[in-house]
Amino acid sequence: MEYRRLGSSGLIVSALGLGTMQFGEAMNVGRLDQQATNDMIKFALDRGINFIDTADVYSRGESEILVGSAIKGIRDEIVLATKARLPMSDTNFNHSGATRVNIMREIEASLRRLQTDHVDLYQLHGWDSNTPLEESLRALDDLVRQGKVRYIGLSNYMAWQAATALGIQHEQHLEKFVTAQMYYSLVGRGLEHEWIDFAKYSGMGILVWSTLAGGFLAGKYSRNQPPPAETRFAEAGQFVPFDKELGYDVVDALHAVADRHGATPARVAIAWAMAQPAISSVLIAARRLEHLDDNIKAADLKLTDEDLRELDAVSNPGIPYPRWMVLQLDQAEDPRPKVLEPERFTDGGPWQDLRRGPNTTV
């Protein structure tokens, strides 16, 4: 297993982390009981995973209860993360959001369910447009000062939202976000438009969720073969939005790369995510131990430059504005990068000069 720093912190986590949405009955993405949870967590820990990520909303607290029981007696061996912000009640609207009231309530509830006195990483599960950002950030800072939380992170923010939060935290001397848990896959590469550059600039570590796009990139599906029964994709539907025609092309490429390595498409898709910049850990989740075992083996799969180019070409979503203009001005029209970093331009350059024609490089 490979290990990496958790964002800008000094904490070390496995490059693959165990996701836990499949634990519990309510979410219809696994329905694993206590024994299955125990077995899966032990299996992951025995293979070098030290990072477990859950959330209060996963089966409305049941996932945390199952995880808490499974790690009893070995809590200090694990980097434990959970999240709050999404609704925990169908009737009380104050049991939702990133308000001080809800953050304080949910950390206490999570600690009880997890049977611990602290979590190593506490994450806001999404942006809350109904709550002043300063209120949320001060509540998180209080949790760190109280010792209930060691580090804080965010999830499912846009880059400008995260940048605004970091700016407030810096200005007001509050505990800073060290991670961003975000969706990223070969059929969902929107994170590359702004987020990855922002993460590299700010030092935030990205925690990847659903790098198999809800199971689609496991390679079981094709244009002529619908999702088999009893799979997450068949039962829960398309977990993340993507162009299925593009998806089928990506799956074909995954099979081609996998065949060269004697691996599976799922393993290749996970290894691709691990090879991208600013990634602290890629979260994997499975309902069966054999699937988890295959996913973990992605840590030992080293993709070649040829593999990465092939996967990039088939999945490339294009570059939207303003990113293409930023690259145009910073690399194509500014002479300084070619003087300061000539090694980046040995093969013609990382960016085509759009204003000189599509076949011209700098």
Per-residue pLDDT of the chain (362 residues; tens, 9 = 90+): 999 999 999 999 999 999 999 999 887 788 999 999 999 999 999 999 999 999 999 999 999 999 999 999 999 999 999 999 999 999 999 999 999 999 999 999 999 999 999 999 999 999 999 999 999 999 999 999 999 999 999 999 999 999 999 999 999 999 999 999 999 999 999 999 999 999 999 999 999 999 999 999 999 988 888 776 666 666 556 788 899 999 999 999 999 999 999 999 999 999 999 999 999 999 999 999 999 999 999 999 999 999 999 999 999 988 888 888 888 888 778 888 888 988 878 776 667 666 665 544 43
User: How far apart are alpha carbons 65 and 26 in whole angstroms?
Assistant: 13
Residue 232 is predicted with a pLDDT of: 60
For the whole model, what pTM was predicted?
0.92
Residue 361 is predicted with a pLDDT of: 45
**Cα angle, residue 335 at apex, residues 329 and 340 outer, rounded to 5°:** 115
User: How far apart are alpha carbons 169 and 173 in whole angstroms?
Assistant: 6
Residue 323 is predicted with a pLDDT of: 86
Residue 228 is predicted with a pLDDT of: 67
Residue 234 is predicted with a pLDDT of: 60
Q: Are 349 and 361 in contact (CB under 8 A)?
A: yes
Phi then psi dihedrals of residue 13, to 5 deg: -130, 155
Decide: helix, strand or coil at residue 32: strand
Q: Which of 108, 113, 53 is nearest to 78 (CA)?
A: 53
Q: Which of 170, 111, 102 is nearest to 139 (CA)?
A: 102
Place of tokens 């700016």: 167
> With the C-alpha atoms ordered 319, 320, 323, 325, is the resulting torsion angle positive or negative?
positive
User: How far apart are alpha carbons 137 and 74 in whole angstroms?
Assistant: 31
Place of tokens 């169908």: 90
Residue 9's alpha-carbon distances to 37, 139, 158, 315, in angstroms, are: 29, 20, 22, 32
Q: Are 56 and 83 in contact (CB under 8 A)?
A: yes
Bridge-based pairing state of the strands 3-5 and 12-14: antiparallel
The structure tokens listed for 354 are: 């759009």
Residue 125 is predicted with a pLDDT of: 96
User: How far apart are alpha carbons 330 and 339 in whole angstroms?
Assistant: 13
Residue 326 is predicted with a pLDDT of: 85
Q: For residue 124, which amino acid is it? A: L
Residue 74 is predicted with a pLDDT of: 97
DSSP H or E run through 201: helix 195-202
Residue 221 is predicted with a pLDDT of: 86
Taking every pair of Cα atoms in the chain, the longest distance, rounded to a whole number of angstroms, is 64
Burial class (CB in 10 A: 0-12, 13-18, 19+), 317: middle
Q: List, in sequence order, every residue forming a beta bridge with 124; answer none if it has no partner.
A: 84, 154
Which residues form the catalytic set? 58
Contacts 24+ apart (CB under 8 A), 44-49: 44/18, 44/292, 44/296, 45/74, 45/77, 45/78, 47/1, 47/293, 47/296, 48/1, 48/14, 48/296, 48/299, 49/1, 49/14, 49/16, 49/17, 49/18, 49/296
Q: Are 135 and 100 in contact (CB under 8 A)?
A: yes
Q: Are 254 and 260 in contact (CB under 8 A)?
A: no
Q: Which of 54, 46, 50 is nearest to 17 (CA)?
A: 50
